[in-house]
Amino acid sequence: MLVGGAGQIKITKDGKALLDEMQIQHPTACMIARAATAQDDMTGDGTTTNVLFIGELMKHAEQYLSEGLHPRMIVEGFDLARAEVLKFLDQFKECEDAIDRELLISMAKTSLKTKLPIVMADKMAEICCDAVLCLKREDKPEEAIDLQMIEIMAMKHKLANETRLVKGLVLDHGSRHPDMPKELKNCYILTANVSLEYEKTEVNSGFYYSSAEQRDKLVASERYYTDEKVRQLIDLKRKVCTEENGKTFVLINQKGIDPPSLEMLARENIIALRRAKRRNMERLVLACGGNAVNSFDDLDITDLGEAEHVYEHVIEDDKFTFIEGLKNPNSCTVLITGPNDHTIHQIKDSLRDGLKSVLNAIEDNCVVPGAGAFEIGAHNHLEEFKKSVEGKARLGVEIFAKALLVVPKTLIENSGMDMQEKLLKLQAAYEKTKKAVGIDLMSGNTLDPVLESIYDNYRVKRQLFNLAPVLAQQLLLVDEIIRAGVQMNKKRD
């Protein structure tokens, strides 16, 4: 069903199955839920604000509708107000020459502190920032950052505050041979997609022998093809790993490795992982370096990546392989730990929003002062702007301006303070200084969000004002839409 939280609104898997029923019983709620979902998909945040803002627009519009004002006049005012608010947003934003790490951490904290306890949010903010910065490639600075290159691995183990960023990869399986080493340092990493198991013929065939010697030759010839590939790998290992350089060797293979091949690799002190997930193959190359190979012919040292530490971690029946200590990782893993599924799920949801907020700040190269500062400023700006609007459309601008105050109102109410008193104090402070003024939820006093490093994403605000007013307009004009549909049907008949 519809699940709301501080800073997020989601439709669960079971709720999606009931959307058709909601469409019939609660069409308005369904439309608002879809708008919030669209906001989350595009920007990763602002879903609760979207729902609150749409509700506030409809609440204030209802008062004027009951007095006989036509919805078309309100919609016309909404269009004027939305265009003016977007212009004001471009003036209000803070543009930075370079978005540094401290600013990105502040962005993530603003997003996460509405979803997690403060101590946990501070730690997760640094993890989100460092994870996104890992993906920036120095050799290709113009290349877009892909958050899919961040692997999120959950481990029901220890406490939530032990969640950490691994600048490398964590694979959810280990080696399949008891004699293979459990830990290696100063490693070469070979990423491969080569079958190292006995291949049966693709057509029906039969083999006949008349003596034990012939049978042994037959078995040896069947194994020759697979063993030859393993020997090629072992030859490369002996070539690049010497006593002088102290290097060790790790094979991560997407396809299978049969027991005889594992035995040969174990005798050479090689860690070999088989059936690695396909999605990890690209991450492995980005994180460790080297090339993903499809054949062991003409293998060279340039095909190998490097890692300082590869080790296996066992929790009950589950094995995890950690690949850490990479020089220039362009892929990483966030290892989420927690004592139960609820805690892990909560951190996972918050992590996605935190990563998205950091990425948005990097791509926008600007931020918007938070703590309700923008909404207070935009409200004051629209109050001045409506004086230049003639006719009944001015009432639509007035409704829009009043609805903007739902954000600071909600912040104040959630902090347990007198909403009217603190809101008037905020408005008076902005009218006096004409600078960004936010609310301190601990003391109730005004603050400068820039000095306190409280920021919102520019694109989240922009998307909010591009999406929420449009939906409110559709709801207000629904009678006209239905009437037009009936008239079209009559003309067809």
pLDDT in tens, 405-423: 888 888 888 878 888 888 8
pLDDT for position 92: 83
Two structure tokens written together for 270: 């090689």
Position 321 pLDDT exceeds 50: yes
Average pLDDT over residues 236-253: 85
Task: Report percent pLDDT > 70 for the chain.
Answer: 87
pLDDT at residue 330 in the model: 79
Q: How many residues does the chain have?
A: 493
pLDDT at 367: 84
pLDDT above 90 covers a percentage of the chain that reads 0
* Window from 2-11, 50-59, 91-100, 206-215 with minimum mean pLDDT: 2-11
Average pLDDT, the chain: 79
Which two structure tokens, joined as six digits, stand for 295?
A: 């054949």
The pair of structure tokens assigned to 294 is: 């499809």
pLDDT single digits (tens) 354-382:
888 888 888 888 888 888 888 888 888 88
pLDDT for residue 479? 62
pLDDT at 211: 75
Asked if residues 9 and 33 have their Cβ atoms less than 8 Å apart, the reply is yes
Count of other CB atoms within 10 angstroms of residue 490: 8
The 10s digit of each residue's pLDDT in 254-281 is 888 888 888 888 888 888 888 888 877 8
The yes-or-no verdict on residue 487 having pLDDT over 60 is: no
Choose the CATH number for 48-96+367-492 among 1.10.540.10, 3.40.50.2020, 1.10.560.10, 2.30.40.10.
1.10.560.10
The contacts of residue 357 (CB under 8 Å, 6+ apart) are: 44, 45, 107, 108, 110, 111, 128, 457, 460
- The pTM of this model reads 0.74
Domain boundaries, the chain: 48-96+367-492, 169-328
Taking residues 275-290, what's their average pLDDT? 81
Is the pLDDT at 492 greater than 80? The verdict is: no
**Does 121 have pLDDT greater than 60?**
yes
For 174-195, how does the pLDDT look when each residue is reduced to its tens digit (9 = 90+)?
788 888 888 888 888 888 888 8
pLDDT at 23: 44
pLDDT at 201: 59
**Per-residue burial over 457-468, b = 16 or more CB atoms within 10 Å of its CB, e = otherwise:** bbbbbbbbbebb
Contact between 115 and 121 (Cβ < 8 Å): yes
Residue 163 has pLDDT above 70, yes or no: yes
Question: What is the pLDDT, as a whole number, of residue 241?
Answer: 84
Give the tens place of pLDDT for each residue, 8-46.
333 333 434 434 444 444 566 677 777 777 777 777 777
The label of the residue with tokens 């309100």 reads 74
How far apart (Å, rounded) are the C-alpha atoms in residues 238 and 236? Answer: 5
Whether domain 169-328 has CATH 3.50.7.10: yes
pLDDT at 203 over 70: no
Exposure b/e, 349-387, CB count within 10 A at least 16 = b: bbbbbbbbbbbbbbebebbbbbbbbbbbbbbbbbeebbe
Strand bridging mode 169-171 / 318-324: antiparallel
User: CA torsion sign, 260 to 263 to 268 to 274?
Assistant: positive
Give yes or no for residue 103 having a pLDDT over 60. Answer: yes
DSSP-based three-state secondary structure for 493: coil
Q: Write out pLDDT tens, residues 424-457.
A: 888 888 888 888 888 887 777 888 888 888 888 8
Name the residue with tokens 């080569």. 194
